[in-house]
Amino acid sequence: MRTVTDTPSPLPSHAAVAVLGIGLMGFPMGRRLCEAGCAVSAWNRSRTKADRLAPFGARVTDTAAEAVRGADIVITMLENGEVVEDVLFRQGVADALPRGALVIDMSSIRPRQARDHAARLAALGVHHLDAPVSGGTVGAEAGTLAIMAGGKPADAERARAVLEVLGRVTHVGPHGSGQLAKLANQMIVGITIGAVAEALLLCEKGGADMAKVRQAISGGFADSRILQVHGQRMVERDFAKRAAMTVQLKDMRNALNTAEEIGFEAPITALFERLFAEAADHGLSDLDHSALFVELASRNGMA
């Protein structure tokens, strides 16, 4: 059995990086890494999505295991914890990883899954960070993602130059802590979307100009990025998917599952989990998470 090695020196921003998962987030992240001079190898279950990185210099592979051979860092941006586990431990990635490599899981999964993955990789001499992100596709395109890293401080420092190509990284604690921070982020995002939607709909129902109300309270104590970005989408009724309703629902459920595991009561999150679930049940799954507005409008005969 391989043993854990001492943490190597920090990696340069042009390190060999494998990116597994080339979707809405993985594609702009992979492109930025290519443009920064990293030697990028890319894999996606549907190869056509990974092929989009080839013009930027990425080496596209047919299997995830092939993508990680020789990589200094492996970044995963996958759908959920079960998919991450499958790719790492059933598709040959863990066995193909070079000894001393660093896996940075930037997917949003449960904290206990992140801790389990870290322990299993450590037994193979592979380092691990759980480093989910906030900022959506806009942040991924601009390289301004908020990156919440859980794991050993030395591994976070080792990865800093590469991660800073993608955004601002903060080490928040041991393995699983990055996922806890992401759950906190998603709880606040989901609950605030609901608050903004309900408040603006109340104003419209009462006869006020919703766009003007949003303008009036901007800069006050109720202002937020949610009011600015999602509030404008609500005014324009523009719910094209940037951050999926289904992902928001998954994150709310992960938060509730984690709360149950540690004996924490989260009644506000539970309420909004039900609202997002009903929105999905009512045909809004393929829209942006700000489309909770549509669910609340429908309840009030305003759809």
With beta carbons less than 8 A apart as the criterion, state whether 285 and 245 touch: yes
How many other CB atoms sit within 10 Å of the CB of residue 16?
A: 19
In the beta sheet, which residues pair with residue 17?
40, 73
Longest dimension (CA), the chain: 70
77 by Cβ neighbours in 10 Å (0-12 / 13-18 / 19+) ranks as: buried
**Is 41:67 a contact under the CB 8 Å cutoff?**
yes
What does the block give as tokens for 175? 């393995």
Q: How far is CA 141 from the centre of its chain?
A: 14
Which position among 182, 205, 212, 250 bears the catalytic label?
182
Q: Which helix (H) or strand (E) holds 147?
A: strand 145-151
Concerning whether 182 is annotated as a catalytic residue, the answer is yes
Q: Which amino acid is at 169?
A: V
Range 245-255 burial, b when 16+ CB lie within 10 A, else e: bbbbbbbbebb
CA distance 73 to 15: 8
Q: Which residues are catalytic?
A: 182
